[in-house]
């Protein structure tokens, strides 16, 4: 299994540009999450999904959109990039079920700079 994969690894955007951060997992996990980590700070939840077709906002959703058309993929869309969106973005997934013991598995991250 490749686990959770993210593309691209790095990206520089100009203010106002758009882009999609890709996230794919091959573990058949129903739960998927997008986080951002600003320099020197902790992880903040942007959006999450509990299954294909179901998404919901986290703590910091403004400026982002998500979709979940398949179990495997959970892309994050930035429509009008702003310098405040300069951050490292992590995708994570978690096994479905009611066990609270199931851990989240993280992707390698995408480092985004908006200039």
- Decide: is 102 part of the binding site for another protein (CB under 8 A): yes
Applying CB under 8 A, among 21, 24, 31, 71 the residue interacting with another protein is 31
Applying CB under 8 A, among 46, 109, 112, 114 the residue interacting with another protein is 109
- Decide: is 3 part of the binding site for another protein (CB under 8 A): no
Closest CA relative to residue 10, chosen from 102, 109, 115: 109
What are the respective helix, strand and coil percentages of the chain, to the nearest 5? 5, 50, 45
Closest CA relative to residue 110, chosen from 92, 94, 88: 88
- Decide: is 58 part of the binding site for another protein (CB under 8 A): yes
Binding site for another protein (CB under 8 A): 31, 33, 41-43, 45, 48, 50, 56, 58, 90, 94, 100-109
């Amino acid at each position: 299994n490749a686990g959770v994969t993210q593309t691209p690894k790095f990206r520089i955007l100009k203010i106002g540009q758009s882009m999609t951060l890709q996230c794919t997992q091959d573990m058949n996990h129903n739960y998927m999450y997008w986080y951002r980590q600003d320099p020197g700070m902790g992880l903040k939840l942007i959006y999450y999904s509990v299954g294909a077709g179901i998404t919901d906002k986290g703590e910091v959703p403004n400026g982002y959109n998500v979709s979940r058309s398949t179990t495997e993929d959970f892309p994050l869309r930035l429509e009008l990039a702003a310098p405040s969106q300069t951050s490292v973005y992590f995708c994570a997934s978690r096994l479905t079920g009611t066990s609270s013991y199931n851990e989240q598995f993280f992707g390698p991250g995408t480092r985004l700079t908006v200039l």
